[in-house]
Structure 1
Amino acid sequence: MSSPDVISLARGAPSLDIVPVDELREAADRAFRSHPEHCFSYGPAAGHPLLVEWIAKRHGVEQDQVMATNGSMQADAFFFQEFVGAGDLVVVEAPTYDRTLLMLRELGAELLAIPLEADGLDVEALARALQAGARPRFVHVIPNFQNPAGCTLSLEKRRQLLELARRYDFLIFEDDPYVDVRFEGESLPRIFDLDGRRENVVYVSSFTKTVCPGVRVGYLLGPPEIVARLRRRATNTYISPCVASQGIVAEFCRGGGFERSLERVRTALRERRDAICEAVAEHLPEARFVKPEGGYFLWIDLPDGDVRELEARARERGVVVVKGTDFFIEGGEQSLRLAYSAVAPAQLREGVARLASARRELVGTAQP
């Protein structure tokens, strides 16, 4: 739907007004002038050398533990393809990102969904499953401002999850594109950093949520032997990543643009988060939600009704939302994901008001 009257609360991406367009243009000029050999030729499977160097320094790892990719989903796909075969057990959060479910299902994985709580994955439920004999290839978690639920995995649970990984010999796949988009509360250490031995965690993040969606640059950190396998897979898949985009991001970060961009994104998204939470409290007081401390999404649970019908009626009023069923193997019939990242506060309030109007109509027609 392209009408200007349509308010989309569906897409998890920053709006153009908070993208540092001028700084990115300048970074592109520097990258193309200063390092044409890196930007205009095939590049190494590891990614643009200057970007790999910057990422390694930022995370305190060696460069053989780094791989820059065409977005974090490319890193996800390489890892899943390398480590998942038909019938392999993979633990996912319930709910979780719909594309994760799609990729794992297409590979024939057996999925064990562990519920989320207000402070992230129910680690005790996972422990019970492991004690009962579950042996996953890996556990997939989105620890910060989870997509779609918006919750954050507590420090205690991060440590407990790492201990389970060591005891039962599985990998943790830490899918963390929102970590830097925190606008309140205390930052928590990455599970990757808590794993001092760097043996049990593969870490993935992205510049899409902090710099610009269009650059399509993400990266992966992990044990050197795992990274080497994924680099070979990358070479066999696309010969070279998009080193031109990676060169732009490298110059942007090396010139201090990354930290400046974070402040801009955090300020805008805090205002938008507050607007949508206030609007839901006003117009949908029956909805339950956890107020996110960062990220792009608000997850709401409604007491009754089927959101599949609500989603359709909201669309008729020019509001696009994502129904909760998209993020579950089973369930989510009374939940919605509302993305506030791409919508100004006034539109967020109007969108929620329209959504509430659609729900009142739906509930009214369901009354005997």
Structure 2
Amino acid sequence: MAPSDTISFARGAPSLDIVDVEGLREAAALAFAEDPAGLTGYGTAIGYPPLRAWIAEQHGVDPSQVIVTNGSMQADAFLFETLVGEGDSVVVEKPTYDRTLLSLRKYRRADIHMIDLEPDGLDVTALGAALRDGLKPTLAHVIPNFQNPAGYTLSREKRSALLALAREHDFTIFEDDPYVALRFAGEALPTMLSLDEHGTVVYASSFSKTVCPGVRVGYLVGPAELIARITALATHTYISPSMVAQGIVHQFCASGRIRSSIETVKAALAERAGVLCAALEREIPDARFVAPEGGYFLWVELPEGTDVAALFTAAAERGVQIVKGTDFLLEGGENTLRLAYSGVTPEEIDEGVRRLAEAYEALAPAAA
């Protein structure tokens, strides 16, 4: 029987203690005081105009190049529906976010090509070889910073190389970047959007990781013509996204509270990532991983032959939730798992890894 105090390494979300609830309360009051008509009306599919303008300013683009949506997953879905037809080739990282795989496979019926992910990001050499061999993708989906599930970051050199490949082979780079602000070590890198001079990149991000998941506010930045097409799709889908949520986020951002919120989250993530790495080294010496420089996730490889599906069950019996690596792959990865450290305290991490090690050790006789 599992302990009553379940410790979850499964959810990529901040714990309540690092969410600026007071700042959100103040932002909500200001939003309703300053623009009650704007918040309570339907609005338009572009999103809340002041927030759209703020986002455009952050990225140095015209507001016509921005659409604000109900979370970044909806932004992803709109982009896929606009650009990806049934049977179109799409490049994704191996491993990649499980919801991306679901959307592309189930709803778009795309022809997915997984390219290996290395500690410094997508293997652009392998992608280049596949392109020369005849691969003609419509889109390449990349999570460049602190990738979900691996936690890896695309290097500066690989960003430039990927842009060059996209121009040469005429495909769109979808730069899916919800974790960009959450760097707690190392040097910040320029977005591919900022390096792009040819309209090759469509950029997405989210306030779920820097404000809180409950606001459900994400956005796309891209060529104005493409954003106009997506706006028409959004209009037919829901008339407009939530003006209330977006108005609150705008006040949170414009007031500067988002900066202090990000610093609070980064400090917590840095501590939690350090505790997790130390606990794994101490409790499960067989585990192989790359210490993250930001974001929410750590990718763990266990020795070949380890059955992580069995480990998943054994861990659950001990009150620990993990995510199997196979969830992020089309095939393989039976010896891998993802651990999210964003929603657990340092004390919970130590106890959770101790229980996970106990589950792993319990499987050892079966693997022998």
What residue identity is the alignment partner of 1:314?
Answer: A
- Opposite residue 103 of structure 1, the aligned amino acid is S
Aligned equivalents of 2:223 and 2:259: distance in 1?
Answer: 27
Does the 8 Å contact 2:119/2:290 carry over to 1? yes
Q: 2: CA distance between counterparts of 1:52 and 1:4?
A: 44
Provide the TM-score with structure 1 as the length reference: 0.98
Q: Would the alpha carbon gap of residues 49 and 4 (structure 1) be closer, same or farther in structure 2, given more than 3 Å must change? A: farther
Q: Are the counterparts in 1 of residues 10 and 322 from structure 2 also a CA contact under 8 Å?
A: yes
Separation in structure 2 between the aligned mates of residue 109 and residue 363 of structure 1, nearest angstrom: 39
* Letter in structure 2 aligned against 1:179: V
Alignment of 1:212-231 (within 5 A): 212-231=212-231
Query: Which position in structure 2 is the counterpart of 1:340?
Result: 341
- Quote the residue 2:36 is aligned against: 36
Counterpart CA distance in 1 for 2:143 and 2:210 is: 16
SS class of match (1:173) = strand
How many Å apart are 1:38 and its aligned residue? 1.2
* Letter matched to residue 21 of structure 2: V
Deviation at 1:3, TM superposition (A): 7.1
> 5 Å matches for 1:345-356?
345-356=346-357
* Structure 1: gaps spanning 5 or more residues: none
Judge conservation of contact 2:2–2:316 (CA < 8 Å) in 1.
Answer: no
In structure 2, what is the equivalent of residue 184 of structure 1?
185
TM-score, normalised with respect to structure 2: 0.98
2:323 is aligned with 1:322: yes
Deviation per residue, 1:145-170 (Å, 9 max, x gap)? 00000000000000000000000010
2:262 maps to 1:245: no
The CA distance in 2 between the partners of 1:138 and 1:81, in whole Å, is 12
How far does residue 258 in structure 1 lie from its aligned partner after superposition?
A: 1.0
| Whole-angstrom CA distance in 2 between matches of 1:276 and 1:313 | 20
Q: Partner of 1:161 in structure 2?
A: 162
Counterparts of 1:205 and 1:260, CA distance in 2: 19
Distance in 2, matches of 1:365 and 1:168, equals: 49
Q: What CA distance in whole angstroms lies between the structure 1 residues aligned with 2:84 and 2:307?
A: 34
Q: CA deviation at 1:171?
A: 0.3
Between the aligned partners of 1:49 and 1:109, the Cα distance in structure 2 is 33
Matched with 1:297 is 297
Instruction: Determine the structure 2 residue equivalent to 1:147.
Output: 148
Cα distance in 2 between the residues matched to 1:181 and 1:310: 30
User: Following superposition of structure 1 onto structure 2, how do residues 1-368 of structure 1 map, counting pairs within 5 Å?
Assistant: 4-106=4-106, 107-197=108-198, 199-304=199-304, 305-367=306-368
Report the identity percentage: 59
For residues 56 and 120 of structure 2, the distance between their equivalents in structure 1, rounded to whole angstroms, comes to: 29
For the residue of structure 2 that corresponds to 1:186, the secondary structure is coil
Q: Give the AA of the match of 2:209.
A: K
Instruction: Report the aligned-residue RMSD.
Output: 1.1
Letter in 1 for 2:116: P
Determine the C-alpha separation between the residues in 2 that align with 1:85 and 1:151: 29
- Taking the aligned partners of 1:319 and 1:260, their CA distance within structure 2 comes to 31
Give the match's secondary structure for 1:288: coil
Q: CA-to-partner distance for each residue in 1:308-354, whole Å, 9 max, x for gaps? A: 01101100000000000000011110001000000000100111111
Find the aligned partners of 1:294 and 1:4 in 2 and give their Cα distance. Answer: 31
What is the letter of the counterpart of residue 148 of structure 2? N
